[in-house]
Structures are given as C-alpha cells and as structure tokens.
Amino acid sequence: MTQRDELLTGQDVRLACRRGEFAAQTSGLAAGFAQANLVVLPKDVAYDFLLFCRRNPKPCPLLDVTEAGSPVPVQAAADADLRTDAPRYCVWEHGELVDEPTDIAGRWRDDFVSFVIGCSFTFEAALLRAGVPVRHIEQGVNVPMYRTNIECQPAGMFRGPLVVSMRPLKPADAIRAVQITSRYPAVHGAPVHLGSPEQIGIADLSRPDFGDAVEIRDGEIPVFWACGVTPQAVAMATKSPLMITHSPGCMFVTDLRDETLAVE
Amino acid sequence: MTQRDELLTGQDVRLACRRGEFAAQTSGLAAGFAQANLVVLPKDVAYDFLLFCRRNPKPCPLLDVTEAGSPVPVQAAADADLRTDAPRYCVWEHGELVDEPTDIAGRWRDDFVSFVIGCSFTFEAALLRAGVPVRHIEQGVNVPMYRTNIECQPAGMFRGPLVVSMRPLKPADAIRAVQITSRYPAVHGAPVHLGSPEQIGIADLSRPDFGDAVEIRDGEIPVFWACGVTPQAVAMATKSPLMITHSPGCMFVTDLRDETLAVE
C-alpha cells in the first residue's frame, strides 16, 4: 500500500498534511469527500471578500467562513486546522506570489478570516459516475485553467477576471455534463461557456494560465466552468496587501460528503 | 380582434378546426396549453408503434394513447375529436404522402389507435419566459427540422432516422436551454446534440428537411432537440400501409397546461 492509498478520508489527508507527510496534489484522494479552495484574509477586508463571493457565486461558492482568528472551519471540518491541513499554500503580497509554504502557522494572525470555497472535484466524481469522461483525470494531470475576458462583479477592492477550468467533451456528454453539474451549485454548478474559446478571451487552449494542457480529440468541444482559482487571479489583479490561498490542485479536504452538496 | 386572437384556449383552437374555420400553423395560439404531434395507426401495428415510442422517448414522448376506434384522447383533451380537431393532417400510404386533408372523418376506421406526442412548443414557452431567444419565433417561421444519421431504435416494422429541430443560441443561452428543457422530458427534454451539424449527418443547416431555415448569427451554435416529426420520417422509411399524422406545424392543441408537463 502506498502512502496515497492510505489517505481514504478527509481527516486522513488533513492529518498527513499536518504531520508534514503530504504536500502534493489531492485529486483522487479521499474519494467522496468534498475538496475545497481556500482564501485567508485579514478581517478588515473580509466583508468586501464575502460580498465578492455573494456577487460571484459561480467561481466562489462558499462552503464555510471561519470566525476571525479561528483556524477551524466548523461547518466543513470541525476538527481541522486551516493553518496546517492543506498540502501547500500560496502567500500573495500586493499581487505577488511571495511564498509557497506547506503550512502557515508561523504567519497566522488573530484577525485572519478563512473562506472555504467549493471545488470542481466534487462534480467530477459525479461526471465519472455517469460515464462522462474527464480528460485531465484520464491523463493524470491537473485540470487546465484559463483567465477569461469576463470580469467578476467587483466588491470593494476585490476585482479581477473570471478564471475557468476546461474539460473537452463530445456534444452529447457536454449536454449531460450541463445536467449533472447543474445539481451542484455549491461547487461551481453548470458551465459558464462551451465551444469557441475566443468568445471568452482565451487565445490558445494549449497554453493554460494554471494547471496543465489536455488533449482535445476530434468531435469534442471545450466546456468551461467557473473555477475556484479565480480568487488567486483576484489577488494578482487587486494587489491586496496580503492574501493566502491554497496552491492550485493542492486542496483542503473537508468532512463534507460530495453528495450532500447536490440539490434535489 | 383577428380570428387568431380569439383562439385563446386549446378548446377554442380545436373547435375552430372542427368547424373548418382554422387550418394553419398553431405556433403562438392558446398560450399555456400544450400542443401535440399526432400519429394514427391501425390496431394491428399499434403495439409495435407503442414499443417504438417506449424505445425512443426523446422523439416520441407519449402524452396519450386512445382506445382502439375512439377518437377521444381522454387524458389530453376529454372533449376532443381527433378526426376533426387538428388543423391539417398528412395521410401516408406505403411511405408516400397521398393527401393533406383538414379532417379525417371520412377515413376513420373502428380499428384506429391515436398517439398524442409531446411537442417542443411547450419548452419554447419556458425558454422565452427565461429570456432565451427562439429564432424561428422571432422570424415568424416554422422551426427548421432535419433528418439525422442517428437511427431510432426499431420496433417491429417501425424504423427510421431521428428527426431533430434546431435553435441557434449563444453558448450561455445553450447551457441555460439544456437546464430548462431537461425539466420537460414529456416534450423531448434536453437537446440531443449541439455544435457541429456534420457529426449527426446534417450537411447544410440552410436547407432543412421540414420547416424553414433560420438565421444563425456570429457566435451562436446550433442546438438540436429530438423532434415529434420523427414519426413522419418513420412513415416514409417503413412504408407502412397506412399512417395518418398531423401536418408539420399544424398541431393538435390539448387541454394540458404546459407547466403540468415540467418535472420538479
């Protein structure tokens, strides 16, 4: 049994991160447990970011918001510690990535508020169960993500472009994927675009802004979903003095079951 | 007030047809009442056609099946007479269109079974309510319909190509249209295809097999739904001795409210 095989629950992954034994991508780990994007901000800008999430629910569907100073996301994982339990973090200062540590305990402040944001891994599990193929999983790489020319609705200092993830699908699978992901508004929901990438400002699908390029086969169309990496593009665009996020693909794994995030 | 303005309910339209006062396309009449495709067959082949509908629910979603010999669709419109209450009919003999009468009273037989099949007009009303434009309605023409290279699942003698209707939409509207029409499985449900027409055997969108061509604007993609005209393509392909249908666009208007056909 490999170390990855032992990471069967959200708690298993979190504790491995906390012990410093795991600092990699989380795709495929703790099957059935919802993984999440993470944004940590000082309290004085938390209201504006909360409003930003309210105004941009497709890229920023909130699963939990912590009390100021508390590293415990009570609704998402009551025994977790957000300072240590993600595999890797990104520290942004004035729009620049200044560090990618495996914990943020040394940087923690009493005025930090953490936002736990739904992740497309949840709906990918539902797609796979329905027989809809997910190319980047087939290819064993991170999902390709792109900055678009769609501006998020700003709130206070927070503004920036919508980031989307892309999965190439045959048309019938694209239709099925719309149906399936519509059931998961808490993890980005239905696609925001399909077909021509130029229409949303993406010049070259083979050069994603985050993640890895994937093969697009004959007869497939690119299907685009709002992506939880959007706050990182926002961090770059707004040059906020301090924002800490997860590292793309290295998610915070919750205790929430994927299926509890489905409507109906 | 014009004659059309007076046709406010399904019953109004049916009685106008019965009196010989109306024999035209029904799009836009009796808003809120479900319109239907019609197939009339001798009892000896009714089982096979019922099985065909069961095997091909997207083109042939059944709203009602009459008792043999009865022209009354009890579930769809209890006071209707299917011999007179559609605006215009098509009579098919051995795969050939031999007549397009405004009633079939003189042709009626005691062994006729009628199949009342859901129509996309119901979901078009839902699309319009959601602000999704419907081009052929904007242009005041019949929806464009195309034979595809997708074979229906055969049943007994009944076999033939799937016929689809097409509506051009911007990608975001196409995604919304998948969501909306998924709620209406009784009237063809979600699209069967979107994007490249060649993939389903349609060579030229400007030359539909039934109905009228519509404008496709820059940035729009064609979206294809299974169509209730499929039985007419089946009549042609199977060369059944006798099949009577409605004339395309000249629908039988029921007493069923569109909204009662939505799931959820």
pLDDT, tens digit, 9 for 90 and up, residues B100-145: 999 999 999 999 999 999 999 999 989 999 999 999 999 989 899 9
CB contact under 8 A, A171 and B182: no
How far away is chain A from the Cα of B76, in angstroms, using its nearest Cα? Answer: 29
| A contacts of B179 (beta carbons < 8 Å) | 178-179, 182, 190
CA B216 remoteness from chain centre: 23
CB A102 within 8 A of CB A20: yes
Reported pTM: 0.85
Chain B contact for A192 (CB, 8 A cutoff): yes
Residues of chain A with CATH 3.40.1640.10: 4-119+239-258
> For B210-248, b where at least 16 C-beta lie within 10 A, e where not — what string?
bbeebebeeebbbbbbbbbbbbbbbbbbbebebbbbbbb
Q: Give the integer Cα–Cα distance in Å for A40 and A187.
A: 19
Minimum mean pLDDT among B3-7, B96-100, B127-131, B248-252: which range?
A: B3-7
Cα-Cα-Cα-Cα dihedral sign, residues A163, A166, A171, A175: negative
CB contact under 8 A, A175 and B191: yes
Residues of chain B with CATH 3.40.1640.10: 4-116+239-257
pLDDT at A2: 55
CB contact under 8 A, B175 and A178: yes
Q: Hey, which CATH number is domain A4-119+239-258, 3.40.1640.10, 3.40.50.1820, 2.60.40.10, 2.40.50.840?
A: 3.40.1640.10
| A contacts of B192 (beta carbons < 8 Å) | 172, 175
pLDDT at B240: 86
Q: For each of chain A's 264 residues, which pLDDT tens digit applies?
A: 355 666 789 999 999 999 999 999 898 899 999 999 999 999 999 988 998 998 999 999 999 999 999 999 999 999 999 999 999 999 999 999 999 999 999 999 999 999 999 999 999 989 999 999 999 999 989 899 999 999 999 999 999 999 999 999 999 999 999 999 999 999 999 999 999 999 999 999 999 999 999 999 999 999 999 999 999 999 889 988 999 999 988 999 999 999 888 886
CB contact under 8 A, B193 and A172: yes
Q: Nearest-CA neighbor of B255 among B4, B8, B6, B3?
A: B8
Could you tell me if the ipTM is greater than 0.85?
Answer: no
CB contact under 8 A, B193 and A199: no
CATH topology for the A121-230 domain = PSTPO5379-like fold (3.30.2040)
CATH node for B4-116+239-257: 3.40.1640.10
Rounded to the nearest 10 degrees, what angle do helices B171-182 and A171-182 cross at? 70
Residues of chain A with CATH 3.30.2040.10: 121-230
